[in-house]
Amino acid sequence: MASLLVEIQTEELPPKALNILAKAFAQNLFENLKKQGFLQSESMVTPFGAPRRLAVHISSVLNKSPDVEFKQRLVPVRIGLDAEGKPTPALTKKLNALGIEVDVAQLKRVNDGKQEQLVYEGVKAGYGIEKGLQTALNEAVKTLPIPKVMSYQLENGQTVQFVRPVKHLIALLDTVVLPVELFGLKADRLTIGHRFHTQRPIEITSADDYSSQMVVTGKVIPSFHARKNRMVEQLKEAASRLDAEIIMPEDLVDEVTALTEWPVVYESSFDEEFLAVPEECLILTMQQNQKYFALRDKQGKLMNKFLLVSQIVAKDGGEAIRSGNARVVRARLADAKFFYDQDRMATLESRVSGLENVVYHNKLGNQLQRSARIQNMARRIATVIGADPVLAERAAKLSKADLRTLMVGEFPELQGIMGEYYANHDHEDSKVALAIREHYQPRFAGDALPSTLESLSVALADKIETLTGLFGIGQLPTGDKDPYALRRHALGVLRMIIEKELPLSLSELIAIGVEEELVVPGIQDATEALQQFFVDRLRVMFKEEGYSSLEVESVLQSMPELLRDIPARLKAVRTFMSLPQATALAAANKRIENILKKNTDPFEQNVCESLLQVEAEKTLYTFIKELQPVVDGAFEKGEYEKVLSALAPLKEPVDAFFTDVMVNVDDLALKANRLSLLNLLHQSMNRVAKLSCLAN
């Protein structure tokens, strides 16, 4: 067994896709070779990914795949052999296609129940790693998750497609070059190193020496993970020297890692005057345009210093790099300051009318029309949840105005954030300004929720307007496609109502949205579809929190008016299921439900005590009467665990009832009374959750 190395050296790869491509290439190659039988149980795969290369190292690789016994059905005897027992052209063609050389007399005849079949049983000889690797390579590059394919011409004029043009191909089994080809290139042991710190091609001596040779001779750290760790360590060391906290989002770290072959961290700075610009603008400018890492001091204030990652070890200690980047960032920040200064020359309110020129959806109108709907919804929601309806409506009116500013035009990610800054500059109420920022929240899973009732009112209005509008024109999510992020909007709505314990029912919220949305010509009432959509999202939400399907379904089947009750009910159901009587009571509840569902005869809601004849039904009725005030009192206080635990003593009288009492008797009055008793029991048992859902 030996080690295998494959490297595809290319032009600069797309940084945001590099790590994904490197892992996929390595895994694809590994799985294909494993499928062909070239790998062992101890074989390990190591992916490499740098700006100009994808590579993979695999240990414990066989030179030859093992021989394999196999059985192959060929063709029916009547088709494969002529009258003299000689092979027909049909059989010969089948054997040639399978690569089988055999005397037809050695073929077995097997009756499959319909006719006799010719069957070959033999050994398929293994083949060399050269053939296996060529097959694996062809398949691996074909199935890469390439974001955008590039077409380019080979020296022979042939046009091929790959993520970027390929310059060199290495394929080594230990120290031996394997004769494989890819994109018109024959494999050898040559590659290139760092663009500036190496001059000549590098000759890789063996598969196991690849990584160390690239680091020592090539000044390239081929491992994405190792390069990232080295870079992060340098960034933290530099920040520590400056007594600063580094702003280091994971996606920026990954992108910069993918842009550098040999990361070297330098410090630079910008003029203090730019600190007058909102820090979000400065940070985003540095991160998006220049891939810099911003710094805060120990008090959390943004500093006028930043860290940058180069891939050049500068002879002058980096002075030219520092000053050069300071000049570049100065120009970028000057643009941001210009946008900020210009934007503040007009109030947010003066920009509202300009929303008429911002397209929302061709069937739902422009942003000005949408804003009017959100205002109405926000005012109505605020009234229900106890917010100030005037402030909520004002915030809703101004919430989209920053879309007309230069800063948001340059950085769409700052919408809402800049709105707050400009609202404060215009001396709007602080709750209005905060609601403008927070009404987009939660923007993603786990994001913070709006912090005030006014912010919640506008955020709920914004999201329910989106949902009712798009559902109203039939733009529902399908499968994994959700271009308008409606699932995220729905989860945001549910989180706000539940986690903030708002006194707002889901049906009430949907009704507000639908009523205000129906002013749009041609829109349909999507209440039913939205109700189901939200229930589906609730299922997903609580299953992700660790509740079982049965537990979730039991609560959702008896959907509480206020969603804020659901977590407490789920907790109560889980506690109930730990009781020894729970399984029997759930089964009994299901039995009662089936009896009531199948019954077509009328019965009274109240039980007539004089018609109770059997001791078991009298005992059950007594238990229920004693239970009802306990259940009702606990339910009204929201003590759901107490409600369900109070049901435990019912097990014995319920079991006795079903043992001793016949419900479907000929006496209609007696039957109706027993149905009334079961109905009363059913109602008492299902106050918190539909217990029949918990029955296996």
Q: What pLDDT is attached to residue 262?
A: 96
Q: Tokens at residue 517, please?
A: 């949305």
pLDDT value of residue 443: 93
Give the pLDDT of residue 194: 94
User: In the prediction, which pLDDT does 79 show?
Assistant: 84
Whole-number pLDDT of residue 245 = 96
CA distance 582 to 692: 11
Planar angle of CA 192, 194, 199, nearest 5 degrees: 65
pLDDT digits (tens, 9 = 90+) for 184-238: 999 999 999 999 899 899 999 999 999 999 999 999 999 999 999 999 999 999 9
CA dihedral 17, 20, 25, 28 (to 10 degrees): -140
List of residues 6+ apart from 124 with CB closer than 8 A: 67, 68, 69, 70
Q: Tell me, what's the pLDDT at 468?
A: 96
DSSP label of 285 = I
Amino acid identity at 419: G
Query: Which residue stretches of the chain have pLDDT < 50?
Result: none
Q: What is the pLDDT of residue 607?
A: 87
Q: 281 and 411 in contact (C-beta within 8 Å)?
A: yes
Longest dimension (CA), the chain: 105
Q: What pTM, to 2 d.p., does this model score? A: 0.81
Residue 409 pLDDT: 93
Task: Centre a 10 Å sphere on the Cβ of residue 31 and count the other Cβ atoms it contains.
Answer: 16
Residue 321 CB contacts under 8 Å (≥ 6 apart), including other chains: 266, 268, 308, 310, 312, 314
What pLDDT was estimated at residue 125?
Answer: 81
* Residues 503, 487 contacting (CB under 8 angstroms): no
In the prediction, which pLDDT does 108 show? 86
The string of DSSP letters for 624-670 reads: HHHHHHHHHHHHHTT-HHHHHHTTGGGHHHHHHHHHH--SS-S-HHH
* Nearest C-alpha neighbor of 211 from the set 39, 31, 50: 50
